[in-house]
Amino acid sequence: MLQLIGRDSELVVLAESLERVAGGNGGALLLSGDPGVGKSALLNEAAVQARAAGMRVLGCVGNPASADWAFSGLRELLLPVLDGAKDLLPVTRDALLSALGETTADTVPVQRVALGVLQLLSDAGQVAPVVVIADDVHWLDPATSLVLAFVARRLADDAVLVVAAARSNEIGGNPLAEAGLSHLAISPLDGPAAEALLDSRVPSMPALLRERILVAAVGNPLALTELARATDLDGGGPTGSALPLTERLDQVFGDRARLLPEPARTLLAIMAVNDSDAVQELLAAAGGLTGGRVALDDLSPGEQAGLVWVADGRAGFRHPLMRAAVDGAVTADQRRGIHAVLAASIDADHDRRLWHRALAAAGPDESIAAELERMAQRRSDRGENSTAAVALERAARLSPDPRVAAQRFLAAIVAYSLGAEFRERLPLVEEVDKTQLGPLQVAFLAAIQAAATDGWLGPEHPIREAELVLRYGADNPAQATQLLLNAVLVTWWINLDDDARDLLIRANRTLPLPEDSPVRLALDATSHPHQQGASVRTRIAARPGEEARGPDETLVGFAASCVGEVLVAAERLTVASTLLRAAGEFGQLAVALTAKAWACVLLAQDDAAADAVAEVIRLAGITNELRMTGTAALAGALVAARRGEIESALAVAAVNEEGLIQSGAYSMLLMVQLVRGAVALSEGDAVAAFDALIQVCRPEERSYQQNACVWALTDLMDAAALSGRLDEVRALHAEFTELAQRSGSPHTLVVVAASAPLLADDADAGVVFDSAFASGVEQWPWQHGSLLLAYGRWLRRQRRRTESREPLRAAYALYNSIGAQAWAERAAVELRASGEPVAARPRRATSQLSAQELNIAKLAAEGLNNREIAERLFLSHLTVRNNLYRIFPKLGVSSRSDLARVLDHNGSDEGS
């Protein structure tokens, strides 16, 4: 191999990375730079050094021709180690093998595949360190990029190193670019290094020619090497300096290819167009195109020209710019002919054969379009939405009927919207002939487009959709249902007047749905939660529990939360999460976990809320539920604020506030204000807490949200009491009391009951406290703690110090069990004032654990083995093992069987 000149610092970084993986510590490195700057050369050097050190090297290269085929890059990467899949858990093994075309599964969730790849590479790394080389990742299929990004973030405890390379100007939006990997920017060579490289390739070059090449190449190693092979350097020639460097190289490679004899030119043209590098397929297609026999030797001129390589039954271009130059010279007729012979050459893979037939079609062809639509359905059923979308788009372009074409375009856009690359495909929306779609479909298309651009669909959105459903829903009830369901979350968060809510209910009633169907429950609960609350709660209670489905339980749980049945919501959403996790439906899982996190926050089940938030964040890199991630993070920030983790809580609030303001989702700022109010209370600043929380209850404020403002009332009333501003909230409390009685919402009822004593005169307070304690407040720890603390304070002010101690003790224990130390300290202050000394509570043993260690300890205590824990937490099993090694001494245990005892003891110790 030729020595790499001028890359000493880059080689040091690669050597250090290889040294770490040799020591059992994995990681990932992303190289970026211009075309030809030497990224591939550095990857090759890393592979050579790894093999020399006894490491196993796996690799894949992005290819524009196969970028739309889900998992095509992953198949190239993993085939050498696929035997290890036998050790994976069955559901993960089945998903991985099906993704790679080895078996057939009903669904192939990319997240489940990613877990399988992580475990497969982790296991391989225990035999010998593994180095994954991924070149041109900007051209990898989206599914492979997602998998590699997922894996690359989780390799700290595994002897696996991922080294990827991409063009700087084409990596934007790629999951690997957004995965937070170590980044190494590859710059052009400096002057001395460029001269040294050129002299090493072409010694004794004439001085004038040498200078012109150095100026033209601007330090690009590929250009230095390849321009030296070209002799025409005058301004009008193919390497004229007036052209950008990439275009000069394109001319050099194009000219070189045009000078090849036949059938070498034909072979190169097929290689440029094809999505496979199999030599056998290449030769068969060339024979079909030329009508004669073509042999491998016919490719030798291309090798001698430095354009292609051939090895082990595969053939490829030496550099993507060479492929691009050849591909750019292929005419439309030639391209269709190549696709036609490729279709005839492919035997086993029906979908690839169909795809090449589709690309060979010169005009509309309904038979091919219909086959593509069926292929898209198969791919969609397996979770391969990007491939399904591409097939549907091509089917639309081949559809002779304009109405059918528009329908297929719409289906393609829906499929694209399920993937991370949808923003790049948004221009397709403008190609749809909307005159061929029904009004419901046009509205649905607009909603998808707005969601893709983070546009906030304001109050007019559900109103417009409801009017369309009332007018056209009877003609297409399925589309009408989907249209309203698509807006269900938005409907909950926006502020609507009663007329708008009545309109939504009327639209809901036109849909042919059973009264207890999850969709009906969710639509009723979000459209008019106060009016429909009692009915929704009754129907949820009557629903049978058997044969639950994850998506259905998510809708039921969300509906329950909307109508104040938060305990039921937490239970249903827990069931939904379990079902969705097992099924590998991770996009839906993120939605269910986010709703669960907020339900648990309202119930002061802060550990459960934090666990749900952590899982949503772990899912963030492999789902398209970005708004769910932010919403969940705010629930986690509220938990952090209660626990006194001020800086992290405020940081999350600030980041999400900016995003919500930019998107115009002002009513969702309520969650930001809840965090800020809790932070202020945790810091003992009742005035700041009041100022933050009162905003969510005033309709004129932008953070006001009519459905969720009751979430703030308990902390707002406490802040008012502590700051002497109770008179400012009397009218507000009366409004909530009337609403609670009218709606029957269990959450609103307990919130107003628990805070009512703060407003009572001393003469009436005893009766009001009795009523509050009889409201079922014990099931609502946050309200219960507030009530106990208020009652203890009141008793002490009444000089009933001895009586005050019991509720104050209970408040102190309750707040400690939640981890709300500032609130516990306020109870402790009151206890001391009552004459009862309060000893400092011992720190829980689990307080020494990180969030990840605590999650692992909990799952190990439940009896899950390392692989099962790894799958639940999206980690490698080695990471789980290493964490357990750290957990045992921290908790003072020596075996897994002791974990449950220690965790239970810590929980009971804290009154939980």
**Widest CA span of the chain, in angstroms?**
107
Residue 51 has pLDDT above 70, yes or no: yes
Contact 800, 813 (CB under 8 A): no
Residue 238 pLDDT:
42
- Same domain for 694 and 663: yes
Q: Are residues 784 and 819 in the same domain?
A: yes
Write the pLDDT tens digit of every residue in 528-537: 999 999 999 9
Sign of CA dihedral 348, 352, 358, 359: negative
Last residue in a domain, options 242, 258, 274: 258
Say which amino acid occupies 225. T
Q: What does the DSSP 8-state code read for residue 182?
A: E
Residue 799: give its domain's CATH number: 1.25.40
824 with 886, same domain: the answer is: no
Q: Would you tell me how many other CB atoms lie within 10 Å of the CB of residue 327?
A: 18
User: Token pair of 655, please?
Assistant: 């980041």
**Long-range pairs for 97-101: beta carbons < 8 A, 24 or more residues apart:** 98/382, 99/70, 99/71, 99/74, 99/143, 100/71, 100/74, 100/75, 101/71, 101/75
Q: What are the strands, taking DSSP E only, across 34-157?
A: 56-61, 130-135
| pLDDT computed for residue 112 by the predictor | 86
Q: Is the pLDDT of residue 909 over 60?
A: no
Q: Which helix (H) or strand (E) holds 306?
A: none
Tell me how crowded residue 304 is: count the other CB atoms within 10 A of its CB: 11
Q: Based on the fold, state whether residues 817 and 685 are members of the same structural domain.
A: yes
Tens of pLDDT along 562-604? 999 999 999 999 999 998 888 778 888 999 999 999 999 999 9
Model confidence at 838, pLDDT cuts 50, 70, 90, reads confident
Kindly state whether residue 428 falls inside one of the protein's structural domains.
Answer: no
Across the range 749-758, mean pLDDT stands at 96
Residue 142: inside a domain, yes or no?
yes
The answer to whether the predicted template modeling score (pTM) of the entire model surpasses 0.75 is: yes
Structural domain contains residue 3: no
* CATH code of the domain covering residue 87: 3.40.50.300
The answer to whether position 734 is within a domain reads: yes
Asked, for residue 792, whether it belongs to a domain, the answer is yes
Strand partners, 130: 56, 160
| CB 632 within 8 Å of CB 593 | yes
Give me the mean pLDDT over the 369-387 stretch: 90
Q: 158-162, 751-755, 858-862 — which is least confidently predicted?
A: 858-862
What single-letter DSSP state applies at residue 135?
E
Residue 265 CB-density burial (10 A; 0-12 exposed, 13-18 middle, 19+ buried): middle
Task: Give me the pLDDT at residue 842, please.
Answer: 58
Domain match, 753 and 767 both: yes
Contact in structure between 872 and 864 (CB atoms under 8 Å): yes
Given a cut of 50, whether residue 1 has pLDDT beyond it is: no
pLDDT: which is higher, 37 or 110: 37
User: Are 254 and 277 contained in the same domain?
Assistant: no
Q: What pLDDT score does 664 carry?
A: 83
Q: What is the mean pLDDT of residues 751-772?
A: 93
Domain count, the chain: 5
Do 647 and 730 lie in a common domain? yes
Give the residue among 722, 776, 732 at the shortest CA–CA distance from 754.
776
165 and 125 together in one domain: yes
Tell me what pLDDT residue 189 has.
94
Q: How confident is the model at residue 242 (pLDDT cuts 50, 70, 90)?
A: low
Q: Which pairs with CB-CB distance under 8 Å and at least 24 residues apart come from 645-650?
A: 646/679, 646/682, 646/683, 649/675, 649/678, 649/679, 650/675, 650/676, 650/679
User: Do both 819 and 724 map to the same domain?
Assistant: yes
Domain shared by 175 and 195, yes or no: no
Cα Rg for the chain, rounded, in angstroms? 32
User: Token match 């307080």: residue?
Assistant: 847
Q: Phi first, then psi: what are they for 134, rounded to 5°?
A: -120, 110
Q: Which domain CATH number covers 885?
A: 1.10.10.10
Q: Which residues pair with 183 in a beta bridge?
A: 30
For residue 174, the tally of other CB atoms under 10 A from its CB is 24
pLDDT score at 7:
93
User: Is 391's pLDDT higher than 60?
Assistant: yes
Structural domain including 752 reads 602-833
Average pLDDT of the residues in 700-724:
95
Domain boundary among 129, 158, 185: 185
The answer as to whether 851 is a domain residue is yes
**C-alpha 858 chain-centroid distance:** 25
Which residues are CB-contacts of 348 (< 8 A; sequence separation ≥ 6)?
none
**Residue 309: per-residue pLDDT:** 94
Looking at 258, 288, 305, which one is the last position of a domain?
258
Q: 819: phi > 0 → left, psi -120 to 50 → alpha, else beta; which?
A: left
pLDDT bin (cut points 50, 70, 90) of residue 911 is very low
Q: Please give the single-letter amino acid code of residue 146.
A: L
> In this structure, is residue 859 part of a structural domain?
yes
Q: How far is CA 66 from CA 144, 504, 909, in A?
A: 11, 45, 58
Let me know: does 879 contact 156? Beta carbons within 8 Å: yes
In terms of Cα–Cα distance, which of 269, 247, 271, 249 is closest to 260?
269
Q: Are residues 229 and 347 in the same domain?
A: no
Q: Are residues 291 and 349 in the same domain?
A: yes
Residue 611 resides in a domain: yes
In this structure, the strands spanning 308-311 and 130-135 are: unpaired
Average of per-residue pLDDT across 657-683: 93
* Lookup: tokens for 277: 């590098």
